[in-house]
Amino acid sequence: MDNTLKNLKEAVALSPDNAILRKMLAKELMAEEYWSEAEVELKTILRLTAQDQEAKLWLAQSYWALDKKSVAAVIAEELEDQGCDAPAFTFLLAQLALENKDLPKAKEYYEIAVNANLALKNTTFEAQLKETILESGAALGNATESTEADEQFFADIEKPAITFDHVGGLASVKKEIALKIIHPLKNPQIYEAYGKKIGGGVLLYGPPGCGKTLLARATAGEINASFINVGISDILDMWVGSSEKNLHEIFQKARASKPCVLFFDEVDALGASRSTMQNSSSRFIVNQFLDELDGIRYSNDGLLILAATNSPWYLDSAFRRPGRFDRIVFVQPPDAPAREAIFNLYLEAIPKEAGINITKLVKQTKDYSGADLKAVIDIAIESKLEASLMENKVVPITQKDLLNAIKRHQPSTKEWLSTAKNHVLYANQSGLYDDVMKYLNLKK
C-alpha cells in the first residue's frame, strides 16, 4: 500500500475523532479508487459532523462509483435542497441526468460544471452523452442534424477553378491577401531572410454579398491549392466535446492536403460566444481554435488561413493578436470600376443585344453588392425566359430589361453600412476601421 495512505490510516487510528484527518484519508482513498473503504470512512465522518456538505458530496460520488446510483441520487437531492453549488456536485447532477436520459439537463449541468472548473472536463462523460443522444435519435431535434453536419464537413475539400480574375474590383484586398499569405507560402526563404515570421491569417469583413467567400475560394484557385470552407455556426451547433475534436480534425485535414486555404465563415460567432455567452463548449472551441491557429503543436506550414465576418466588432480581440488574424481587411461594396468589371464578368456568357451601355448600368447601381448585380442580371434573364420559351428560341436581353431589373432589385448594402457607421464612430480607437470611415466619408 501507498505510504500516504498508510500514514493517514495510522494517524486516524491514533485520533479517531479527528474529522479533518479522516477527510484527508477519505480523499486519498477516493483518489486511489478504493471506493468501498472511502464509503465506510465518509459515513464515519458524517456521524462526527453531520452537516459536512463536502463529505456528503464525496459519499454520493463514492456511491456513484460503486454503482449504487439510487443512493447517490438520494444524497444528491438532499444536497440540492441545501443549495450546494460546488462544480463537482453539478457534474454529479449531470451524470444522474444522463442516467435518467434527461439529455438537455445532462448537457446543461455538464456545461455549467466544466465552465466553473475546467478540470471536470471528462471525455468519457462526453462520449456517453453523445452516444446516448445518437441512440435516442431525434429526441433533441439537433442530434441527427449534427451528424449530417459532421459528414458534410469532412467531404468538404474543394479544388476551386476560379482565380482573382473572377472577382471584380477589390484590387487592394487582393494585394493584401497576396502579400500576407500567398507570397509567404510561395517564397518562405525571402521572408525568413528578413526575419519575418510567417503565419497568421487574413480576416475579411464587410457587407453581405460583396465577395468575401468568393475571394477566399479564388485565393485557393490562384495558387492551385485545396479549399476547405468551415461554417463556424455549424461547429458550434455540434454537440459538446466532439466539436473540439472536429475542429482539430478539420485543421489536420487541411494540413494533410496542403497547400490548402482554410476558410472560416461567420467567425464572429466564436468571438461573441467567448465574451458574452456562458457556454462552456463554445469557450473550449474558441481556445482550441486559437491553439490551432497558433500552430504550436502542429505546424501550419502550407496553410493559408482566411476568415470572414459581417460584424468584426463582435470578434474577441484575442483573435487579432500577432500570428492570428493580424490583418483585418474591409471588403467594400463594389465601386464604379468594380461594378463595371462585375457586369462584364456576368454578361459575357449571356445572349444580349449589341451595344449594352454598361456605364449607364454602373451609374444606376450605387450601393449594389456583387450579389445584387448578379440578382439584377438573373431578373433580366427571367423576364426574357418566358418570351424565349414562347418563341422557342433564345431572345437576347436588352438594356431596357437590365434597367427594369435594377428598378426591381434594391441595393442590399445600405443597412450594413448604417450599422457599421455606429460601430465605427464609437469603436475605432485603434484605427481598425479607418477604411470604413474613408468609405463612408467620415472624419476621424
User: Which positions touch ligand ATP (CB under 6 A)?
Assistant: 167-170, 208-214, 308, 310, 334, 342, 345, 370-371, 374
How far is the C-alpha of 86 from the C-alpha of 65, rounded, in Å? Answer: 18
C-alpha 282/C-alpha 103 separation (Å) is 18
| Residue 312 partner contact from ligand ATP, Mg ion, none using kind-dependent CB cut-offs of 5 to 8 Å | none
C-beta of 212 vs 255, nearer to Mg ion: 212
Residues comprising the chain, all counted:
444
Measure the N-to-C terminal CA separation of the chain; round to a whole number of Å.
Answer: 73
**Nearer CB in complex with Mg ion: 142/213:** 213
| Element containing residue 66 per DSSP (H, E) | none
For residue 312, which amino acid is it?
A: P
**How far lies 360's CA from each of 169, 305, 336, 414, in Å?**
18, 38, 10, 21
Query: Taking CB within 5 to 8 Å according to partner kind, which of ligand ATP, Mg ion, none is near residue 347?
Result: none
Nearer to ligand ATP, 170 or 286 (CB): 170
Closest to ligand ATP by CB, 283 vs 339, is: 339
- Name the minimum Å distance from CB 312 to ligand ATP: 12
Among 18, 44, 128, 213, binds Mg ion (CB under 5 A): 213
* Listed ranges 38-46, 181-189, 195-203, 213-221: which one lies at the site for Mg ion (CB under 5 A): 213-221
CB of 52 to Mg ion, least distance (A): 57
The answer to whether 293 and 201 are in contact (CB under 8 A) is yes
- For residues 21 and 220, which CB has a smaller minimum distance to Mg ion in the complex? 220
Q: Are 325 and 316 in contact (CB under 8 A)?
A: no
Size of the site for Mg ion (CB under 5 A): 2
φ, ψ (nearest 5 deg) of residue 335: -80, 180
- Among residues 59 and 342, whose Cβ is nearest to ligand ATP? 342
Q: How far apart are CA 44 and CA 195, in angstroms?
A: 66
Location of C-alpha cell 507570397:
183
Stretch that binds Mg ion, among 55-63, 73-81, 204-212, 225-233 (CB under 5 A): 204-212
311 binds Mg ion (CB under 5 A): no
Q: Can you read off the three cell numbers belonging to residue 77?
A: 437531492
From the CB of 227, what's the least distance to ligand ATP, in Å? 13
Whether 161 contacts 226, CB under 8 Å: no
Is residue 429 within 8 A of residue 423, CB to CB? The reply is: no
CB of 310 to ligand ATP, least distance (A): 5
CB 212, min distance to Mg ion, A:
5
Chain positions contacting Mg ion, by CB under 5 A? 212-213
